[in-house]
Structure 1
């Protein structure tokens, strides 16, 4: 890694400095991006941008495809090497973020997921760290299903 700025690697955001010091892990992509948007709103006192300026070199363009919702809902994951209960913390039409209470999951791994009473739906692990897993669904949730989950089952 060289240069100054940020880089996404293995689902985590890393801070880089121009002097070549060791990169600093800032945390999971979703959490750091959300915190950056709040910070920008406070500094600029304007709405946060929907994307961050294009990257240079290996850096990654961070752009949200759809709105993500902070929720707390129980779910169940089935993977080839494990299965168990999870707590889903973030949900969108395209995917979710959850706290695993099961064995090791790895990026690219296919899973089956039940969100509360909804599902099962299939997806793929996009990233994982010590405390969270990010999943992209194979097929997006219908907007009405997303609304139904948020309004009727979140927080139970």
Structure 2
């Protein structure tokens, strides 16, 4: 399923933010990522070297939160969409959005976010 079809199926809108995190696959590979949007049902991660594959089970661990288990649903360029196994509590999503929104800039489509470059 492609990115546009996934967006159409979402139950709740994604909220933009820039939140550093680690993403670990079942095989043990760990990648430093930036969570660039989030909802109660999933998130988008950005990485300079996405090595995950659609269908991979992963754990995303944002700063100051426990790990969030999910499945990679799509990959495009330096981004991947993750569907969480269990929905996040809506007030937690809103808090993360408010807290990490101040760092968001709006790059051209397809451009790597400056925050991602800084994290690399």
Q: Indicate the TM-score class for this superposition, using the shorter chain for normalisation.
A: 0.7 to 0.9
| Offset from partner CA, 1:39-88 (integer Å, 9 cap, x none) | xxxxxxxxxxxxxxxxxxxxxxx233012101111111011252121011
Counterpart pick for 2:31 among 84, 107, 113: 84
Please give the root-mean-square deviation of Cα atoms over the aligned residues, in Å.
2.2
Are positions 1:68 and 2:38 aligned together?
A: no
Aligned length: 102
Unaligned runs of 5+ in 2: 105-120
More relative contact order, 1 or 2 (CA 8 Å, 6+ apart): 2
Larger radius of gyration: 1
Counterpart pick for 2:54 among 101, 107, 115: 107
TM-score (norm 2): 0.73
Q: Secondary structure at the match of 2:87?
A: coil
**Greater helix share, 1 or 2?**
2
TM-score (norm 1): 0.57
Unaligned runs of 5+ in 1: 1-8, 14-28, 34-61
